Amino acid sequence: MTNTAVLTQHTFETIEWTPDGVVMIDQTRLPRETVFVTCRDYIEVADAIRNMIIRGAPAIGVAAAMGVAIGALQSDNLDADMPVICETLAKTRPTAVNLFWAIDRMKSVYASVRHLSLDQVRERLVTEAQKVRDEDIAINESIGRHGAPLVPDGKTVLTHCNAGALATAGFGTALGVIRAAVQAGKKIDVFADETRPFLQGTRLTAWELQRDGIETTIITDNMAGHFLKSGRIGCVVVGADRIAANGDVANKIGTYSVAVLAKENHVPFYVAAPISTLDLTLSSGDQIPIEERAAKEVTEVRGISIAPEGIKVANPAFDVTPNRYISGIITERGVATAPYTESLRRLAKNA
Ligand code: MRU
């Protein structure tokens, strides 16, 4: 993986297909440094997903699709190599279903074109990966359009983790709703939960929104209840990593606590996510696999240990919010409301 120049420009691409490889903004180094890495083979793409150089469910999906494409470009025997490439990428992170959705999509394109010449097959896979990215940009805009009317004017929006441009190929899901509300002229500001332990809120959401000139305040995760009770928060909007058929939502650890506190204080709690985040094969959120990450994400700050040597650590990266806490699920095809088993199934069919 190669680091390229430190940039200071205002626009950035989270992930791009280039002749040199798959280029990603390195999210582990933001906001201190804006560095782009080039993944030159599918193993490097898999490492980038696993190490969270790229993260956020839709962005992980785009990365996986591009990983399959770059793997295909470098293979002379796709029948033998495709299963290995797909398996390597699928083993990187278990919770965000967009990863598996993108790999399955690439597999089915492969199945439909494998009778063609090697060059033609490679070209089709590269085109498909770029299509996954381009579609994500359009999907973000539609999510924003559907979500913006739900955001109360003159209030603060609370968000958790980063469901923004960095987590997608476009302008975000939850942050896409916020951006669309601002574009529609609503006078809103944002509270960003810091999102321990990886600090996606402090490092990424705050960085993105500040660049856009959207007024943003960072709060530590344990302050959310205090502000939800204060009457200042008009709604909560978060993203999702996997949504079960009954509307239970897996998202960044801490989301569940925010949802319960929102309901207790009569603040609407919205989830913004593309249809590709639905996993209708799971009847409830209890079946969603929850990733456990390294202890040092909790015990270390920038490589310095802050915990007693040898202490036990739990580090689930996600939790599941039961559907009863969710006021609506904002997708590119409209807003699903309870009962979710019916509304989500209807939206999923409505291609
Ligand atoms: O561990 P991460 O940073 O990949 O987790 C990201 C989240 O939980 C996001 O909220 C989710 O993927 C939605 S991103 C549009």
Q: Residue-wise pLDDT tens for the chain (351 aa)?
A: 554 433 332 368 999 999 999 999 999 999 999 999 999 999 999 999 999 999 999 999 999 999 999 999 999 999 999 999 999 999 999 999 999 999 999 999 999 999 999 999 999 999 999 999 999 999 999 999 999 999 999 999 999 999 999 999 999 999 999 999 999 999 999 999 999 999 999 999 999 999 999 999 999 999 999 999 999 999 999 999 999 999 999 999 999 999 999 999 999 999 999 999 999 999 999 999 999 999 999 999 989 999 999 999 999 999 999 999 999 999 999 999 999 999 999 999 987
Identify the residue whose tokens are 């939960």: 193
Q: Which atom of ligand 1 is nearest to the CA of 60?
A: 4
Whole-angstrom CA distances from 115 to 68, 78, 103, 251, 320 are: 18, 11, 20, 40, 43
Number of structural domains, the chain?
2
How far, in Å, CA of 55 to CA of 297, rounded?
15
- Regarding the beta carbon of 205 and ligand 1, being less than 6 Å apart is answered no
If we measure between CA atoms, which residue out of 297, 299, 76 comes closest to residue 203? 297
Q: Is the pTM of this model over 0.85?
A: yes
How far, in Å, CA of 73 to CA of 47, rounded?
18
Distance 285 CA to ligand 1 centre (A): 16
Instruction: Judge if 125 and 152 occupy the same domain.
Output: no
DSSP state of 263: H
Residues 1-14 as b or e (16 or more Cβ within 10 Å = b): beeeeeeeeeebeb
Mutate to test the pocket of ligand 1, among 158, 251, 257 (most ligand atoms within 8 A of CB): 251
Instruction: Judge if 165 and 299 occupy the same domain.
Output: yes
Mutate to test the pocket of ligand 1, among 252, 292, 329 (most ligand atoms within 8 A of CB): 252
- Regarding the beta carbon of 93 and ligand 1, being less than 6 Å apart is answered no
Distance 163 CA to ligand 1 centre (A): 6
Q: Which atom of ligand 1 is nearest to the CA of 273?
A: 15
Q: Which atom of ligand 1 is nearest to the CA of 251?
A: 8
pLDDT at res. 2: 53
Instruction: Judge if 316 and 253 occupy the same domain.
Output: yes
How far, in Å, CA of 208 to CA of 192, rounded?
11
pLDDT at res. 1: 58
Instruction: Judge if 59 and 174 occupy the same domain.
Output: no
Instruction: Judge if 134 and 187 occupy the same domain.
Output: no
Instruction: Judge if 28 and 132 occupy the same domain.
Output: yes
- Regarding the beta carbon of 109 and ligand 1, being less than 6 Å apart is answered no
Last residue of a domain, one of 120, 141, 162: 141
Q: Which atom of ligand 1 is nearest to the CA of 318?
A: 8
CATH number at residue 248: 3.40.50.10470
- Regarding the beta carbon of 55 and ligand 1, being less than 6 Å apart is answered yes
pLDDT at res. 350: 82
Mutate to test the pocket of ligand 1, among 97, 193, 202, 241 (most ligand atoms within 8 A of CB): 241
Instruction: Judge if 197 and 119 occupy the same domain.
Output: no
Q: In this structure, which residue's CA is closest to atom 15 in ligand 1?
A: 163
Instruction: Judge if 100 and 227 occupy the same domain.
Output: no
Q: Which atom of ligand 1 is nearest to the CA of 198?
A: 3
Distance 69 CA to ligand 1 centre (A): 23
Q: In this structure, which residue's CA is closest to atom 10 in ligand 1?
A: 239
Strands (E), 45-176: 156-159
Last residue of a domain, one of 117, 141, 165: 141
Range(s) of the domain holding residue 337: 145-349
- Regarding the beta carbon of 96 and ligand 1, being less than 6 Å apart is answered yes
Instruction: Judge if 153 and 127 occupy the same domain.
Output: no
Strands (E), the chain: 2-6, 15-18, 21-25, 35-39, 156-159, 189-193, 216-219, 233-238, 242-244, 249-252, 269-272, 278-279, 300-301, 304-305, 318-321, 328-331, 334-336
CA angle 89, 137, 200 (to 5 degrees): 65
The residues annotated with a catalytic role in the active site are 241
Q: Which atom of ligand 1 is nearest to the CA of 272?
A: 15
Instruction: Judge if 238 and 221 occupy the same domain.
Output: yes
Instruction: Judge if 314 and 187 occupy the same domain.
Output: yes
Last residue of a domain, one of 141, 160, 182: 141
- Regarding the beta carbon of 72 and ligand 1, being less than 6 Å apart is answered no
Q: In this structure, which residue's CA is closest to atom 6 in ligand 1?
A: 56
Instruction: Judge if 151 and 135 occupy the same domain.
Output: no
If we measure between CA atoms, which residue out of 207, 211, 15 comes closest to residue 98? 15
- Regarding the beta carbon of 328 and ligand 1, being less than 6 Å apart is answered no
Mutate to test the pocket of ligand 1, among 15, 49, 54, 55 (most ligand atoms within 8 A of CB): 55
